Amino acid sequence: KAGVTQTPRYLIKTRGQQVTLSCSPISGHRSVSWYQQTPGQGLQFLFEYFSETQRNKGNFPGRFSGRQFSNSRSEMNVSTLELGDSALYLCASSLEGLDVANEQFFGPGTRLTVL
Amino acid sequence: AQRVTQPEKLLSVFKGAPVELKCNYSYSGSPELFWYVQYSRQRLQLLLRHISRESIKGFTADLNKGETSFHLKKPFAQEEDSAMYYCALMEYGNKLVFGAGTILRVKS
């Protein structure tokens, strides 16, 4: 099976712009989660989607949003970019979300740099 | 709030020496705990989870509810074990709460 893929892998934006990141989960996985990784804050949960519905959300401002499509692919959007949004954004997919012990499979990440 | 604490940023050991990566957690219910590993230039991947009680690549981790710990251990470190290790706790809805991570450096 192909692993989780994320596009683009690298992105450079300027403050005030918006950005959309894409994640394609492993075939058959219906849950997609997003994480932000920074040197200062480590890995932080952004949100999780299951069957096109946001089921859980982390403590990030409303500028961070996401969605999931019927084929389980997911996008996240960050509007009005700030310098502090520079980070590696990781996507993870897993099987049916009813079992809380499901293994999450991570993508390679999208490196976002805000200038 | 749920928290995962990894007190060591860096752990440096010699090849063949025992390894223990510490992880403590705070959680109000029955925790689901994991260890994830990230090797150089590779993606984050699951190493082991407490419910499976298995040994992966010689690593084991025991959940100690009394001490709220989930330390990762290996009796004899190998150079290929050098990586970043994250302890994580799973909340509802596939939300993982990660510790800050520990870099394990195995010297020859």
Touching A: B residues 77-96, CB under 8 Å: 86, 90-96
Task: Indicate if the pLDDT at residue A68 is higher than 60.
Answer: yes
Contacts of A78 (CB under 8 A, 6+ apart): A18, A19, A21, A63, A64, A65, A85, A112
| pLDDT at position A16 | 98
| pLDDT at position A21 | 98
Question: What is the average per-residue pLDDT within B52-60?
Answer: 85
d(C-alpha B48, C-alpha B101), whole Å: 15
Q: Which domains does chain B have, with CATH numbers?
A: 4-107 (2.60.40.10)
Phi, psi of B26 (to 5 degrees): -130, 125
| pLDDT at position A83 | 97
Question: What is the average per-residue pLDDT within B84-93?
Answer: 89
pLDDT band at residue A97 under the 50/70/90 scheme: low
Task: Indicate if the pLDDT at residue A93 is higher than 80.
Answer: yes
> Which residue, among A23, A32, A43, would best test binding to B if mutated, counting the most B CBs under 10 Å from its CB?
A43
Q: Which residues of A touch B (CB under 8 A)?
A: 3, 31, 33, 35, 42-45, 48, 50, 55-56, 58, 90, 92, 94, 97, 100-109
